[in-house]
Chain A
Amino acid sequence: MSKTVRIEPDVQFVKELQEVGGEDLKKCYQCATCSVACPMAPADNPYPRKEMIWAQWGLKDKLLNDIDIWLCHNCGTCSDLCPRGAKPGDLLAALRNMTYRKLVPPAIIGEWMSSPKHLPMLVGIPAVVFGIIWMIRASMVGSFFPVTEDGRIIYGNLFPGDFTIDPVFGLTAIFVLICFLVGIRNLIQGFQTTVKDTFVIGYKKPSIKEAIVDAIKYEVLQHTRFKECIDEPADEERVKGHLLLFYGFVACFIVTSIVAVAHWGGKIIPFLAPIGHTPMPLWSPVKILANVGAVLLLVGLTLLTRRRLNLDRRKSRSNYYDWYLLGVIWAVTLTGIGSEVFRLAGVAPVAFFTYYLHLISIFMLIAYLPWSKLGHLVYRTTALIYARYVGRLPIGEKLIEDEKVFVI
């Protein structure tokens, strides 16, 4: 502890943090009510008090490498109790936003994702790409809104998967995957500079595999710690909404995977092909799963959006990252359902246009994923695994039982 650390205050970084959701961070006067009140913070070196002063001083390196911002699930108890209205909960959210913005190159995308003024650009890219495809295909099939002879609408006729949708999204997915790998590496390298291995008596250090299994089993699939982060009824709604949304996505992901595997697999193993043939009849189990997923998404979105709209602005404010993600998921969900409904209703122009919008919103969800709030899917999971691995979080279902954990 006697080592002297040189501090480099950075006014610019303070301002940036204020822009991405931490506008009240300067109000903190370090009473530490937040760290005491937090139901999740570890007893040793708890958050978010320390993050508050780091933020006031603009101590970039400490903040961007801080693992604790991912241990927080933003229940807002700290912000509720803050005597100065400094909103520590919002600051941690802002720090996560800062990670979305800075962690992964190219920096320009992070920049675009940080402010609504760049939204036209973000919408524009997929709009142009799919617009051009639409033009070309329309000239090839001879109609902007082609229907089959028996009057059915098949989106694949206008946007065939093989050489329009799948290559675009496939390449995008690979790009995103690479970006995430870079992100995970950067994140862990950062954690290594700040998080010391914690030796805990009576506690066996887990293997990396145990840490991964544990994190996925409890944190991802059951939201175990997230459920602890409940302070008032609105928080329960938030956990419920998040779970529904999560499983809605899982359902949609399974459906998409089945379709993709069946379609491409069908080219090698022919009997698989029909399973992935779209559009599917409504009785198809895959279609049913897709529709169930859509309903889960709708309900989850409603719960989460309602909570955000009802937030007491003196206690906590939603930032652009929050609204961007909610907005895009709303767009994906509504255009997805719309595509199905208008297709079944046989209103070709509306159906095709809705499907076009659906493609744009899906692109916006996936292509910018490492720089959006949805990036927490990867970053938070990484942090939670790492925290278990180094002993910052306990293994197993037991959560924070301070009195049993001796930290040296």
Chain B
Amino acid sequence: MAEKIGVYFDEASLGGALDLAALMDGVRAKWGATCPVVKSHPQLASDAGRAMIQADIDAGTIDGVCICGPSPRVDWDIYRFQGAQVERVNLREQCVLCYRDPDGVPGGDGTSPELLQKMAMDYVNMGVVKLQKSTPPGGGEIDVVRRVLVVGGGWTGLTAALDVAALGYDVILVEKQDYLGGAAAQMYKTIPLKPPYTKAEATGIEKKIAAVQENEKIQVLLNAQLVSLAGAPGQYTATIAVAGEERNEEIGSVVLATGWTPLDGSYLKPLGYGRLKNVVTAWEFESMAKAKAIVRKSDGAKPKKVLFVLGFGEMLAPFAQKEQEEAEAAAKAAQTKEADDTPKTNFVKQLTYKHLPFTSELTSLTALKQAGYVREQLPESAAIIVYEHMMVPGINELYYKAAQNDPGVMMTKGVVREVRDGGDGDVVVVLEDTLLGAKVEIEADMVVVPTGMVPTTALDPVLNLKYRQGPAFPDLQLFSGYADSNYICFPYETRRTGIYAAGAVRQPMGLALAETDAAGAALKAVQCLESANRGMAVHPRSGDLSFPKFNLLRCTQCKRCTEECPFGALDEDEKGNPMPNTSRCRRCGTCMGACPERVISFDNYNIDQIGSMIKQIEVPDDMAVGGPRFLILACENDAYPALDIAALQGKPWSPYVRIIPVRCLGSVNTIWIADAMSKGTDGCLLLGCKYGEDYQCHFVKGSELCNRRMANIGETLGKLGIETERVQQLQVAIDDYAIVPQLIDTFVNDIIKLGPNPFKGY
């Protein structure tokens, strides 16, 4: 709690747009002894400016620094001081630059308009209060086990184990089979891994296996399965069954590299698989090539023409229809038994045809590779590739070119209409829309159909987490079972902190990509250990020392926090009290937003703090005289930067709004809305990330949960006679800066039409 606060104005960034002397007088008048220092400086973000502030701190005059100048998103490295907390008041972007007269005319004749002055005063007051209600975070340090568990001994797992060991950490590598190498060890060759990227090559998996076996830091457990994983990052206990015998291992973090299994053959029946003897899957063909025995199953003869099918025409449509019907039926069933207790498991098996199209890129490359096998092992035979989409992104274009150059590899785009018996074991494939012109049919001696890569996480919880929310990763149906995330910037991040997915369990991928994936996950696993030990958040608020604190005396065991935490950070005791696991936590504050009793808080971010800030907004009693007032709670990850950019680009908005950044809309507690509405604020706008199937929320569920809570508060408002339109949530991405001012203005104008908040003046 900062008690003596220094308020500093940066003249350089406020550029004479504000009457700083009047503001400083305002601060002194309002806060008196609370703010013993109120100063302005021609260029605060300079050595001289810093020295001035540090001197005030060192003299013991102040213990809190309130910087009034540019957005907190800039110069954050300059405004860091020993011995005092810092708060930034964004007067440049979100006060001066965004300011527009209510009649639409930009600000006056060199003097500061009254409305702008009022806005600045509100923001400064909010900054002071925020500091008052803030204490320096810390104290979350834990002892960590510097050992990483790598689950899966295939290409990705081996690579990750070597990478982690190379960074100086111990590794336990758990492999289900009695050999290392996984799928890569079953392959004859791989698509090119090195320049000139034109030839299939040996995988080199033996070298990786040997390197792992020789490495003293890596302990390999074969015939081993993870029975369960309990605890939290830095302090996990993994129960591993080795050849049936269970043992416990202390580990710090996990790389999940359990890979994939081939999709069930029933999905390939329309392509002839299972119906015709000489139709094989690409994965079966790989084994044939490895055994140097590319022969027909029907008669053992060497095929003269091998046709590779890439694409399914309409053949997957029946599966899609069936799955849709099942999903609808399941949704209906779920509605009828809503009152049911919480499910015992969060694992939902993902059996779907979609794994086939999801593997398209790899099936394209595999067909090119296997066409090469035909040419290599049967030089007189032709390999025919019929594709709907030849997907060879990036450098693999070179491989496609090289394969195309072989006179014995023939390719055409085409849609497969029929696969039928041609007699004598031959297979006739009928194609439409080909580059060859009309509808054509080709008689082949052997047909190879694609293998869909099903992630192991689609079929099994795999890690068997001992978490309150269940043993598996949540919401994997969004990714058809792949342990993937929507984070384009953080691909390895699962919904469970400390567990990093890599390789084909995350996405169908080849060896080259899996190798970089493994390296990324390995680095994340290490970063996790080196953050947990310091009590820091790993991601995405990397380095954040704050964490939620629970005042359990007032807890009513409603379980909302434990259920809603997007990351399963909270377990429960028998009574239903939340049991925090700080190192699992990402500090989003979703628990704080959820709690109806408001017993959850962060040292530097809490209910009282934001509530008090809202109370600092001066709301005129008469809207017709002083204008309306609106509160915007903006997600600091996307919406808040979007507002900064809009202001910097000269796109102003209504001068009646006051913006408060929040960690995530998930942290917005409905009491804040109630606070704002009860003091006469005319409307509340919540700006957060996109939610739903293709969510963009940094905390996955935050904006979605907020939306649900706002629906609930809408009902309450309705009962009080307040129009529900006064509280709205909008989805804003960081690149929506061009439209966000318009969104604000539309909201403001709509509410002005409704008239003033009936609670005004109470």
Chain A residues near B (Cβ < 8 Å): 1-7, 9, 11, 14-15, 18, 26-27, 29-30, 50, 53-54, 56-59, 84
Given known contacts A5-B438, A50-B437, is B410 in contact with A27 (CB within 8 Å)? no
Q: Which residues of B contact A1 (CB under 8 A)?
A: 438-439
Cβ B401 vs Cβ A27 within 8 A: yes
Across the interface, which residues of B come within 8 angstroms of A27, CB to CB? 401, 404-405
Determine whether the beta carbon of B411 is less than 8 Å from that of A56: yes
| Shortest Cβ-Cβ A-B pairs, 4 listed | A14-B407, A11-B408, A57-B410, A26-B405
Are B384 and A9 in contact, with the CB atoms below 8 A?
A: yes
Q: Could you list 15 examples of A-B contacts with CB < 8 Å?
A: A1-B438, A3-B439, A4-B439, A4-B440, A5-B440, A7-B441, A9-B305, A11-B408, A26-B404, A26-B406, A26-B409, A27-B401, A27-B404, A53-B412, A53-B435
Nearest to B406 among chain A residues (CB) is A26
Given A27-B401, A56-B411, A57-B436, does the pair A9, B406 have CB atoms closer than 8 Å?
A: no
Task: Kindly supply a per-residue 1/0 record for chain B positions 396-422, scoring 1 wherever the CB is within 8 Å of any chain A CB and 0 otherwise.
Answer: 000001001111111111000000000
Report the minimal beta-carbon distance from B95 to chain A, rounded to whole angstroms.
54
> Is A9 within 8 A of B410, CB to CB?
yes
Task: Decide yes or no: A6 and B440 within 8 Å by CB, A11-B382, A53-B435, A57-B410 being known contacts.
Answer: yes
Judged by a CB distance under 8 angstroms, whether B301 is at the interface is: no
Contact assessment for B442 and A7 in the assembled complex, using a CB-CB cutoff below 8 Å:
yes
Q: Which B residues have a C-beta under 8 Å from some C-beta of A? A: 305, 380-382, 384, 401, 404-413, 430, 435-443
The residue from B380, B382, B401, B439 contacting A9, defined by CB atoms under 8 A apart = B382
Q: Which residues of B contact A84 (CB under 8 A)?
A: 401
> In the complex, what distance in Å separates the CA atom of A30 from the CA atom of B439?
18
Given contacts A30-B435, A54-B436, A57-B412, contact A6 B443 (CB under 8 A): yes
**B-chain residues with CB within 8 Å of residue A26 when the two chains form the complex:** 404-407, 409
Q: Which residue of A lies closest to B384 (CB)?
A: A9
8 Å CB contact of B438 from A3, A53, A59: A3
A residues less than 8 Å from B382 (CB atoms): 9, 11
Q: Looking at the assembled complex, report how far the CB atom of A133 sits from the nearest CB atom of chain B, in whole angstroms.
A: 46
Residues of B with C-beta under 8 A to A18? 407
User: Nearest chain-B residue to A13 (Cβ)?
Assistant: B407
- A59 vs B411: C-alpha distance in the bound complex, in angstroms? 13
Counting chain B CB atoms within 10 Å of each CB, the highest count among A1, A56, A59 belongs to A56
Q: Specify which chain B residues have a CB less than 8 angstroms from the CB of A30 in the assembled complex.
A: 413, 435
The chain A residue with its CB closest to the CB of B439 is A4
User: Are B439 and A2 in contact, CB atoms less than 8 angstroms apart?
Assistant: yes
Residues of A contacting B305 in the complex (Cβ-Cβ under 8 angstroms): 9
Measured CA separation A15–B305 after assembly (Å) = 16
| CA of A2 to CA of B410, assembled, Å | 23
Contact indicator A15/B407 (Cβ below 8 Å) = yes
Compute how far the CA of A371 lies from the CA of B404 in the bound complex, rounded to whole angstroms: 31
A52 nearest in chain B by CB position: B435
B660 vs chain A, min Cβ distance (A):
55
* A11, B374: Cα distance in complex, Å: 13
By a CB distance below 8 angstroms, the chain A residues around B437 are 5, 50
20 new A-B contacts at CB < 8 Å, known A14-B407, A26-B409: A1-B438, A3-B438, A3-B439, A4-B430, A4-B439, A6-B440, A6-B441, A6-B442, A9-B305, A9-B410, A9-B442, A11-B408, A15-B407, A18-B407, A26-B404, A29-B404, A30-B413, A53-B436, A57-B410, A84-B401
Complex Cα–Cα for A364 and B699 (A): 83
**Of all chain B residues, which has the CB nearest A6?**
B441
Shortest CB-to-CB span from B742 to chain A, Å, is: 42
- Beta-carbon nearest neighbor of A15 in chain B: B407
Q: Residues of B contacting A56 with CB < 8 Å?
A: 410-411
B441 contacts across to A, CB distance below 8 A: 4-7
Q: Which residues of A contact B384 (CB under 8 A)?
A: 9
A53 neighbours in B (Cβ, 8 Å): 412, 435-436
The CA of A7 and the CA of B305, in the complex, are separated in Å by: 12
Q: With A and B bound together, what is the CA distance between A84 and B404 in angstroms?
A: 11
CB neighbours of A57 from chain B (8 A) = 410, 412, 436
Please tell me if the beta carbons of B435 and A5 are within 8 angstroms of each other in the complex: no
Greatest chain A CB density within 10 A among B381, B407, B437, B443 is at: B407
Min Cβ gap A283→B in Å is: 60
Please indicate the chain B residues that have their CB under 8 angstroms from the CB of A2 in the complex: 439
CB of A19, distance to nearest CB on chain B (Å) = 10
B351 to chain A, nearest CB (A): 35
Smallest Cβ-Cβ distance to B444: which chain A residue: A9
Task: Kindly list chain A residues whose C-beta atoms are within 8 Å of the C-beta of B411.
Answer: 56
Instruction: Report chain A residues within 8 Å CB of B440.
Output: 4-7
